[in-house]
Structure formats: C-alpha cells, structure tokens
C-alpha cells in the first residue's frame, strides 16, 4: 500500500489503531471523522482487512466512518440519517452503547435528552 519512504496520514494512523482495537475485541464499533480525501485509502484498508463499514458524508470536506461488527453496521444503516444530530433519543443511546461509552453516562444522557423533549412538548401544547 505504501511505497518506500512514504508515511501514513494522521487519519490513517488513527484508523489503523482503531482497527487494532477492533480486532482485539476492545471495540465493537468505531466512529471516526476524517477528511474526505482519506476515503479511498480508508475503504481500501477496511476492505483488505474484511471489516464491515459505512461512510456518511458530513460536509464537502468531511466524512464519518463507522466500522466494526456487522450487526453494529446494520443498526447504523437502519437509522437512515444524514447527520448524527438527527438521531432520536433511542438511536443516540444505542449508538453510544455500541461505541463503548460508559453505560451510566449513557443512561444519564438518555434521561436528560428525554426530559428536554418532554419539557419542549409541554411548552408547545396549546391548552
């Protein structure tokens, strides 16, 4: 992949570290935001290593790369969102758990988001 004297980009070094963690069972799912120009190289590596992935455009210059267990990738695709900001409370919770975030923090985050939604709905109801 690399010729003599060439070096991996910073994005690829991080991706390769995440691949290592995934292969060791430390992570079930990885989310990495990268420069769009890294997409071909990232895809080449993930295909070579036979790792399931999904790429989401963030902007003209950025992409979100999800990779890991096939079940996790299937769940991410089922969300059918264009941006992480579109996640509903349950999807946000599921994603956090799949990414390996602290469970207690995810419980608190879910409750906080849910309470905000309830308060917003209460304000918008006309009595």
pLDDT, residue 43, reads: 95
Residue 23's pLDDT is 95
pLDDT tens-digit readout, 98-127: 999 999 999 999 999 988 766 655 555 555
Using a 10 angstrom Cβ sphere, with 0-12 exposed, 13-18 middle and 19 or more buried, the burial of residue 36 is: middle
Cα separation, 95 vs 92, in Å, equals: 5
How far apart (Å, rounded) are the C-alpha atoms in residues 33 and 41?
14
Instruction: Report the pLDDT value the prediction gives residue 82, as an integer from 0 to 100.
Output: 86
* pLDDT score, position 5: 47
The answer to whether residue 73 scores a pLDDT higher than 80 is yes
Its pTM stands at 0.82
Give the CA angle between residues 19, 48, 99 to the nearest 5°: 30
pLDDT at site 124: 59
């Amino acid at each position: 992949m690399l010729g003599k004297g060439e070096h991996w980009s910073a994005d690829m070094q991080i991706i390769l570290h995440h691949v290592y963690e995934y292969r060791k069972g430390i992570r079930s799912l990885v989310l990495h935001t990268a420069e769009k120009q890294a997409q071909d190289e990232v895809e080449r590596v993930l295909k070579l290593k036979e790792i399931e992935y999904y790429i989401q455009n963030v902007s003209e210059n950025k992409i979100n790369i999800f990779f890991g267990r096939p079940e996790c990738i299937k769940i991410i695709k089922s969300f059918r969102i264009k941006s992480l900001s579109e996640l509903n409370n349950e999807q946000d919770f599921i994603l956090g758990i799949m990414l390996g975030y602290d469970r207690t923090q995810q419980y608190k985050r879910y409750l906080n988001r849910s309470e905000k939604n309830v308060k917003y709905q209460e304000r918008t109801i006309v009595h």
